[in-house]
């Protein structure tokens, strides 16, 4: 972990029911969380209001997606204004599941980030390479190209957290080694220094996602450029998520 405040996000993805959400919220409300860590959870849209109304204010709430602009005739979409209306302060953008399963491209994701930030919705900006891209030695190229699409659209980096999530590590149980993650985080920071500014490079938090669990988080958290985690599966279990939040020492 670097000098910025450690940040742990729980991405619940398309999981849960009213009952399971209520149980998870009660357990999180009862958990003892390290003070010096920002904690955010991202429920599916339909449960955000329930979570906002029952979860301790110690934990902030994120959406998992948002529309690219102002609301209107966009069937099935949710606007940044609507997130603000229900007190949802964050949105995850560029997640690999939306890039690779739904087909969102860099430009679309970058524009979504710009619009969300313009409405004061903070952004967890995700990047990461596929296994074949890593094997072809293209990890940095892919991550830098995804970073460029964000950088072309973002002016206020204070409200952005970058999440490096190698696609081969997501939901596979194959976590990146602390060295593999550190290498990319340092490269992204360096890219920011050259392409955005030294200030942004040193202050922005770069968190790691991909099979983070209660057993592997502490080793990862020791790395200089790993400023937190974006957790999928393990964020659905309060004791594991709590261990991950408290992993920075």
Where do contacts with ligand G3P occur on this chain (CB under 6 A)? Answer: 11, 95, 165, 170-171, 209-212, 230-234
E strand segments, 114-179:
122-127, 160-164
Q: Which is nearer to ligand G3P, 175 or 201 (CB)?
A: 175
CB of 100 to ligand G3P, least distance (A): 11
CB of 57 to ligand G3P, least distance (A): 23
Q: Which is nearer to ligand G3P, 201 or 234 (CB)?
A: 234
CB 232 within 8 A of CB 171: yes
The string over 127-145, giving b where at least 16 C-beta atoms fall within 10 Å of a residue's C-beta and e elsewhere, is bbbbeebbeeeebbebbbe
Grouping H, G, I as helix, E, B as strand and the rest as coil, residue 123 is: strand
DSSP H/E element including 209: strand 205-209
End-to-end CA distance of the chain: 9
Q: Which is nearer to ligand G3P, 63 or 201 (CB)?
A: 63
Q: Which is nearer to ligand G3P, 96 or 153 (CB)?
A: 96
Residue nearest to ligand G3P (CB): 232
CB of 229 to ligand G3P, least distance (A): 8
CB of 165 to ligand G3P, least distance (A): 5
- Give dist(CA 163, CA 22) in Å, integer: 27
Active site residues per annotation:
95, 165
Contacts of residue 144, Cβ cutoff 8 Å, sequence gap at least 6: 187, 188, 191
């Amino acid at each position: 972990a670097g000098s910025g405040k450690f940040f742990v996000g729980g991405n619940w993805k398309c999981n849960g029911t009213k009952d399971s959400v209520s149980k998870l919220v009660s357990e999180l409300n009862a958990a003892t969380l390290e003070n010096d860590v920002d904690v955010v959870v991202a429920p599916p849209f339909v449960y955000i209001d329930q979570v906002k109304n029952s979860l301790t204010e110690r934990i902030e709430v994120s959406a998992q997606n948002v529309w690219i602009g102002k609301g209107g005739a966009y069937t099935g979409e949710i606007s940044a204004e609507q997130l603000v209306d229900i007190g949802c302060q964050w949105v995850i953008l560029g997640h690999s599941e939306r890039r690779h399963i739904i087909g969102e491209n860099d430009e679309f994701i970058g524009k979504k980030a710009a619009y969300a930030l313009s409405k004061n919705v903070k952004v967890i900006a995700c990047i990461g390479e596929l296994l074949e891209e890593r094997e072809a030695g293209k990890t940095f190229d892919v991550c830098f190209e995804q970073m460029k699409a964000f950088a072309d659209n973002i002016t206020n980096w204070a409200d952005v957290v970058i999440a490096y999530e190698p696609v081969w590590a997501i939901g596979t149980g194959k976590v990146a080694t602390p060295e593999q993650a550190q290498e990319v985080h340092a490269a992204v920071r360096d890219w920011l220094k050259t392409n955005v500014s030294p200030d942004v490079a040193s202050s922005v938090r770069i968190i790691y996602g991909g099979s983070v669990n209660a057993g592997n988080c502490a080793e990862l958290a020791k790395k200089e450029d790993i400023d937190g985690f974006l957790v999928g599966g393990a964020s659905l279990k309060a004791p594991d998520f709590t261990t991950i939040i408290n992993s920075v020492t």
